[in-house]
Amino acid sequence: MAAKPPAGDPVQDAPEVGAPQHAAAGLPAIAHTVRMAQQQMGVTRSVLTLLRVNQKDGFDCPGCAWPEPDKPHTAEFCENGAKAVAEEATLRRVTPAFFAAHPVSELATRSGYWLGQQGRLTHPMYLEEGSDTYRPIGWDRAFDIIAEELRALDSPDEAVFYTSGRTSNEAAFLYQLFAREFGTNNLPDCSNMCHESSGSALTETLGVGKGSVLLDDLYRADLIIVAGQNPGTNHPRMLSALEKAKGNGARIITVNPLPEAGMERFKNPQTPRGLAGGGTPLTDLFLQIRIGGDQALFRALGKRVLEAAEEDPGAVDEAFVREHTHGFEEYAAAARAADWDETLRATGLTRDEIEAAARMVLASRRTIVCWAMGLTQHKHAVPTIREVVNFLLLRGNVGRPGAGVCPVRGHSNVQGDRTMGIFERPDPAFLDALEREFGFAPPREHGLDVVRAIRALRDGRAKVFFAMGGNFVAASPDTEVTEAAMRRARLTVHVSTKLNRSHVVTGARALILPTLGRTERDIRGGRAQSVTVEDSMGMVHASRGRLAPAGPELLSEPAIVCRLARRVLPGSRTPWEEFADDYAAVRDRIARVIPGFEDFNARVAVPGGFALPHAPRDERRFPTATGKANFTAAEVEYPRVPEGRLLLQTLRSHDQYNTTVYGLDDRYRGIKGGRRVVLVHPDDAAALGFADGAYADLVGEWTDGTERRAPGFRVVHYPTARGCAAAYYPETNVLVPLDATADTSNTPASKSLVVRLEPVTPA
Ligand SMILES: Nc1nc2c(c(=O)[nH]1)N[C@H]1C(S)=C(S)[C@@H](COP(=O)(O)OP(=O)(O)OC[C@H]3O[C@@H](n4cnc5c(=O)[nH]c(N)nc54)[C@H](O)[C@@H]3O)O[C@H]1N2
Ligand SMILES: Nc1nc2c(c(=O)[nH]1)N[C@H]1C(S)=C(S)[C@@H](COP(=O)(O)OP(=O)(O)OC[C@H]3O[C@@H](n4cnc5c(=O)[nH]c(N)nc54)[C@H](O)[C@@H]3O)O[C@H]1N2
Ligand SMILES: [Mo]
C-alpha cells in the first residue's frame, strides 16, 4: 500500500494527521481569523470590516443563518464568519487580463481552492461558442445574449433559474417574479440539496416548514438535543447560545457518528474563562450513532415515553395530544411495537445509552431538537424528521416557550429566499397574490428541483441554465453526470462574486455576471440601498454593506434581474426600472404579496428587525391538512451495508464554505494540509486491511449495479461510529448517484453512501 499520494493525484494534497481536538474556539480561533483576514484584506480593512459584521447598522454575515443575539458584542466574533467575510472582501481580483491569460480548458484542470483564491470577479465576461477564452463584454450585450437564447426556446420550461442562499429577499423576490413572468416555475435552489427534507416533514406535520423556536427559547430549554450537526464549524455562534443555555441549567444530548470538538467543549473567545481557562463543557450525553440511525433512536425514545406514561400519566402531555394532534393512536401502536434488537442494530448504540437519554427526556419539561445535514441528507430523511416531530409532540414540546423544532439552516438567507417564492412547487395562494399584484397569470405547473433540472439538462429538455449565485456544478451530486449535463446547455449564466468550477464547465455559450457582495456599498438611484434577510429563526432584518465595491463594473443582484427582465420582457407591466433603483419599492410589493410582511419598510427600519409569524409557535395553530399537528407512523428504516463495505458521509471541513475552500486544514479533527482523507474507525480499517496513512480509492456501489470512483484518499484512523466513514464534499460528490435521493424531498442522499475501499499501489 502506498505511503504517499499516488502519482497523478489531481489535487496537490498531502494531508498530515494529528490527534483530534476536544474543544472549539479559544485563542487559536482568533489567531487564525486574524491571519486569514489579513492575507485577503490587509490590516486596516480587516479591522474595519470585521467590526461591522452582524451589527445593527452593519451587514449580515454572509456565513451561516444562525440568528444574532439582541445585544451583539462589538465584534460578534466567529472564526468562520470572519473567513466568509474575508473571502468576499478580499483585495485580490480576477480581471479580463486574468481570463486572457488562462483559457477555460486550463482553468478546468485547476482545483476549486485555486479558482476561489484568485479573487473577486470584476467584469462581465463572455465565452463565445467554440472559443476557449472568456472575453469582456458590456452589460447590454450580455443581456441581449440571454434574451436571444431565452426567446429561442420552444417553451419557457426549457430554462432553469437556480438560486443559492445568499441572495437577499429583494433580489430573490424580483428573480422569482421575472422567472414566473417569463413563464416557468423552474426555480431550483440550494435548499433542494440542504433542508428540503426538513421543510417537507415540518409542512406535513406542523403546517409550517420552518423552525418553531427563537433564541430565547434555547435559553429557556431544559434539554437540547443536537442531532446531525457540527456547529463548532458550521454555526460557531450557536455555541455561545448553547453555553448560555447551559448556564441557565439546560442539559445537552449530542447525536452524531463523530465526536465533534465544538460540541465537547466551547472556549468562548468573548470571555476571559474561554480565552484562558478550560472553557465550558457542552455535551452531557454523547450518543455516537451509526449513520442513518436517527429515526430508530427517536422512535425508541418515543416508546420509552409511552411506557413511562403507563406509571406516570404526566409523561405524555395528554391534553395537548387530545386537543392539538392527529394520528396519535396509530403512532403509539407503532412506537410501542418498536423492537429493541432492531433499534440497537440501526443505531449502533447500547440499550443503556438509550435509557440514559430517555431519563433525560423524561426529566425535561422543555425540550428542543436542533438538526442539520446529518438528518436531512438520507433516503429516509423525511420520515426521520417526522419522527423528531412525533417525539416532541408526545410531551407537548411544540408551541410553548423553551421547546420546539430547530432545523438550523445553512446559507445566510436560504430561508428568506424560500419565503420570497424561490420554490419550484409554489403555494397556489402565493401565485394568486402575485397575479393580483402584478396582473399576469403565473404558471401553475410545478417546476424542476435541482436533481430534476440536472436530468432535464442531461436529456436536452432544458437548454438555458441561469444561476443567481452558488456553484451548481460542484455542489450537485454525480459530478460527471452533472458536468456532462451542463455542457449540453445552449447557454449557462452565472451571477457570481468569485470564480468557481461552474464558470469553467459551461454550455455552448457562457456568461459570468459579476455582482456585489453583502459587505459592499450598493448605491442605486443616487442613494445607498439596503437589503433584508431572514435568519434560521424567522427574524427579518436589514443589511447594508459599507465597503467600496470590488470594481466599478459590478451590478447589484436586484439591478441585474431588473435589467434582464426589461430586456427579455419588453411588454411587462412591472416597473423594473423603478425597482432597480429603489429597493424600498420592492419591499412595498413584498408587503402586499407575502403574509407576515405587512408594513415591511417601517418594521425593518427598527434595529434588529422583526419576527415573522409562525402559527404553531405563536398560537399552537397547525395549518396542516387535518388542521392539527400530525403524528405519523412510518416504518423504521436504516441503511443496510453489505459485508466489507462502509457507509460514507460527505461533510464539511473547518476550512471551507460549501464548495469554497478557504484552506487545507481541518483543525478540530487534527488534519492539516490536505483534503483527500477518509476517516474510518481503527477496527474497521484494520479489518479491511488499511493501516493509518495508507491510500485508497473510494468506490461507491449503487443499487443499480453501477460504480463510481473517487481516487487517492489517505486513510485516517478516527474515532467515528463503527461501520461508518467520512470524507469531504465536494471532492466526493462524484460518488453520489443522481438517483440516490430522499423520498418526498428529493434531496441527494449525500450522507449515506455505500462504499468499499480499494488499496492504491504506488505508480
Ligand atoms: N464554516 C462553514 N459554515 C457553514 C457551511 C460551511 O460549509 N462552512 N455551510 C452552511 C450550510 S449551506 C449548511 S447546510 C450548514 C451545514 O451544517 P452541518 O449540517 O453541521 O454540516 P456538515 O459538515 O454536513 O455536518 C453534518 C454533521 O452531521 C453528522 N452526521 C452525518 N450523518 C449523520 C447521521 O446519520 N446521523 C447523525 N445524528 N449525524 C450525522 C456529521 O458527523 C456532522 O457532524 O452549515 C452552514 N454553515
Ligand atoms: N456531497 C455533498 N454535497 C452537498 C452537500 C453535502 O453536505 N454533501 N451540501 C449541500 C448543501 S447543504 C448546499 S446548501 C449546497 C451549496 O450549494 P451552492 O449554494 O450552490 O454552493 P456554494 O459553494 O455555497 O456557492 C459558492 C459560490 O457562490 C458565489 N457567491 C458567494 N456570495 C455570493 C453573493 O453574494 N452573490 C452571488 N450572486 N454569488 C455569490 C461565489 O461565486 C461562490 O463561488 O451544496 C450541497 N451539496
Ligand atoms: Mo446548505
Mind giving me the DSSP string for 550-611?
Answer: S-TT-B-HHHHHHHHHHHH-TT--S-HHHHHH-HHHHHHHHHHHSTT-TTHHHHHHSTT-EE
**Quick one: pLDDT at residue 660?**
96
Nearest protein CA to atom 44 of ligand 1, as residue:
230
- 429 and 377 housed in the same domain: no
Q: Which of the ligands is closest to the CA of residue 372?
A: 1
Distances (CA, A) of 486 to 124, 423, 625: 20, 21, 39
**Quick one: pLDDT at residue 3?**
39
User: Looking at the domain assignment, is residue 295 inside a domain?
Assistant: yes
The alpha carbon of 432 and the centre of ligand 3 are apart by a number of angstroms equal to 29
Q: Which of the ligands is closest to the CA of residue 78?
A: 1
Q: Which atom of ligand 1 is nearest to the CA of 373?
A: 19
Q: Which of the ligands is closest to the CA of residue 63?
A: 1
Contacting residues for 481 by C-beta, under 8 A, at least 6 apart: 454, 458, 738
Regions of the chain where pLDDT drops below 50:
1-10
Nearest protein CA to atom 19 of ligand 1, as residue:
373
**Quick one: pLDDT at residue 272?**
73
User: pLDDT of 711-759, one tens digit each?
Assistant: 999 999 999 999 999 999 999 999 999 999 999 999 999 999 999 999 9
- 455 and 510 housed in the same domain: yes
Length of the chain: 763
- 329 and 258 housed in the same domain: yes
- Alpha-helical (H) ranges within 279-317 are 294-311
Mean pLDDT rounded to a whole number for the chain? 94
Distances (CA, A) of 391 to 221, 298, 364, 566: 16, 6, 13, 50
The alpha carbon of 473 and the centre of ligand 2 are apart by a number of angstroms equal to 10
Nearest protein CA to atom 18 of ligand 1, as residue:
229
Give me 423's grid cell: 420554490
List the one residue out of 545, 520, 534, 528 whose CA is nearest residue 600: 534
Q: Which domain holds residue 356?
A: 196-408
The alpha carbon of 463 and the centre of ligand 3 are apart by a number of angstroms equal to 26
- 227 and 179 housed in the same domain: no
User: Looking at the domain assignment, is residue 64 inside a domain?
Assistant: no
The alpha carbon of 351 and the centre of ligand 2 are apart by a number of angstroms equal to 40
The last residue of one of the domains, among 408, 428, 445, is 408
Q: Please give the span between the terminal C-alpha atoms of the chain, in angstroms, as a whole number.
A: 11
Rounded Cα gap, residues 683 and 666, in angstroms: 23
Q: Which of the ligands is closest to the CA of residue 475?
A: 2
The alpha carbon of 273 and the centre of ligand 3 are apart by a number of angstroms equal to 32
Contacting residues for 541 by C-beta, under 8 A, at least 6 apart: 60, 68, 532, 533, 535, 604, 608, 609, 610
Q: Which atom of ligand 2 is nearest to the CA of 659?
A: 23
Q: Which atom of ligand 1 is nearest to the CA of 291?
A: 35
- 242 and 387 housed in the same domain: yes
The last residue of one of the domains, among 348, 381, 408, is 408
Ligand 1 pocket: which of 88, 230, 380 to mutate (most atoms within 8 A of CB): 230
Tell me the Ramachandran region of residue 137: left when phi exceeds 0, alpha when psi lies from -120 to 50, beta otherwise: beta
User: pLDDT of 430-482, one tens digit each?
Assistant: 999 999 999 999 999 999 999 999 999 999 999 999 999 999 999 999 999 99
Cα torsion 593, 597, 599, 601 to 10°: value is -100
User: Looking at the domain assignment, is residue 620 inside a domain?
Assistant: no
User: Looking at the domain assignment, is residue 691 inside a domain?
Assistant: yes
Q: Which residues line ligand 2 (CB under 6 A)?
A: 164-166, 190, 193-194, 373, 377, 410-411, 468-472, 475, 495-498, 500, 515, 517-518, 557, 650-651, 658-660, 729, 732-733, 736, 750
SS3 state of residue 113: helix
Sign of the torsion formed by the C-alpha atoms of 328, 333, 339 and 345: negative
Nearest protein CA to atom 31 of ligand 2, as residue:
497
Contacting residues for 45 by C-beta, under 8 A, at least 6 apart: 89, 91, 547
The alpha carbon of 714 and the centre of ligand 1 are apart by a number of angstroms equal to 22
Rounded Cα gap, residues 135 and 131, in angstroms: 10
- 120 and 255 housed in the same domain: no
The alpha carbon of 193 and the centre of ligand 2 are apart by a number of angstroms equal to 10
**135 alpha-carbon distance from chain centroid:** 33
- 241 and 372 housed in the same domain: yes
Strands 93-94 and 120-121: parallel
DSSP 156: G
Nearest protein CA to atom 3 of ligand 1, as residue:
234
**Across-strand partners of 494?**
467, 512
User: Looking at the domain assignment, is residue 613 inside a domain?
Assistant: no
Ligand 2 pocket: which of 59, 192, 478, 496 to mutate (most atoms within 8 A of CB): 496
560 within 8 A of 515, measured Cβ to Cβ: yes
**Quick one: pLDDT at residue 446?**
98
CATH (domain of 561) = 3.40.50.740
The alpha carbon of 70 and the centre of ligand 2 are apart by a number of angstroms equal to 28
**Quick one: pLDDT at residue 2?**
35
CATH (domain of 655) = 2.40.40.20
Count of beta carbons in the 10 Å neighbourhood of residue 205: 31
User: Looking at the domain assignment, is residue 314 inside a domain?
Assistant: yes
- 402 and 417 housed in the same domain: no
**Quick one: pLDDT at residue 73?**
54
SS3 state of residue 102: coil
SS3 state of residue 127: strand
- 364 and 472 housed in the same domain: no
List the one residue out of 490, 452, 450, 495 whose CA is nearest residue 474: 450
- 341 and 230 housed in the same domain: yes
- 454 and 506 housed in the same domain: yes
Nearest protein CA to atom 6 of ligand 1, as residue:
657
Q: Which of the ligands is closest to the CA of residue 373?
A: 1
- Tally of domains in the chain: 3
Q: Which atom of ligand 1 is nearest to the CA of 371?
A: 19
The alpha carbon of 571 and the centre of ligand 1 are apart by a number of angstroms equal to 45
- 132 and 247 housed in the same domain: no
**Quick one: pLDDT at residue 180?**
98
Give me 478's grid cell: 454525480
Nearest-5° angle of CA 371, CA 172, CA 521?
100
Q: Which residues line ligand 1 (CB under 6 A)?
A: 63-64, 80, 194, 227-230, 233-235, 255-258, 260, 289, 291-292, 294, 372-374, 410-411, 649, 651-652, 656-658, 751
Q: Which of the ligands is closest to the CA of residue 514?
A: 2
Surface-to-core class of residue 703, CB atoms within 10 Å of its CB (0-12 exposed, 13-18 middle, 19+ buried)? exposed
List the one residue out of 649, 193, 176, 628 whose CA is nearest residue 427: 176
Q: Which of the ligands is closest to the CA of residue 533?
A: 2
User: Looking at the domain assignment, is residue 123 inside a domain?
Assistant: yes
CATH (domain of 328) = 3.40.228.10
**Quick one: pLDDT at residue 356?**
98
Distances (CA, A) of 540 to 68, 124, 234, 583: 11, 32, 21, 15
Surface-to-core class of residue 105, CB atoms within 10 Å of its CB (0-12 exposed, 13-18 middle, 19+ buried)? exposed
Rounded Cα gap, residues 545 and 60, in angstroms: 8
The alpha carbon of 576 and the centre of ligand 3 are apart by a number of angstroms equal to 30
Q: Which of the ligands is closest to the CA of residue 260?
A: 1
Q: Which atom of ligand 1 is nearest to the CA of 287?
A: 38
The alpha carbon of 231 and the centre of ligand 1 are apart by a number of angstroms equal to 8
408 within 8 A of 231, measured Cβ to Cβ: yes
Surface-to-core class of residue 43, CB atoms within 10 Å of its CB (0-12 exposed, 13-18 middle, 19+ buried)? exposed
Q: Which atom of ligand 1 is nearest to the CA of 372?
A: 19
458 within 8 A of 483, measured Cβ to Cβ: no
User: Looking at the domain assignment, is residue 279 inside a domain?
Assistant: yes
1 within 8 A of 653, measured Cβ to Cβ: no
Give me 645's grid cell: 463495505
The last residue of one of the domains, among 575, 594, 613, is 594
DSSP string for residues in 9-70: -SS----EE-PPPS-EESHHHHHHHHHHHHHHH-HHHHHHHHHHBT-TTSB--SSB-PPPPS
The alpha carbon of 374 and the centre of ligand 1 are apart by a number of angstroms equal to 6
Cα torsion 674, 675, 679, 682 to 10°: value is -20
| The three-state (H, E, C) secondary structure of 364-422, written as one string | CCCEEEEECHHHHCCCCHHHHHHHHHHHHHHCCCCCCCCCEEEECCCECCHHHHHHCCC
Distances (CA, A) of 36 to 143, 231, 236, 252: 36, 20, 17, 32
The alpha carbon of 720 and the centre of ligand 2 are apart by a number of angstroms equal to 26
Q: Which atom of ligand 2 is nearest to the CA of 191?
A: 14
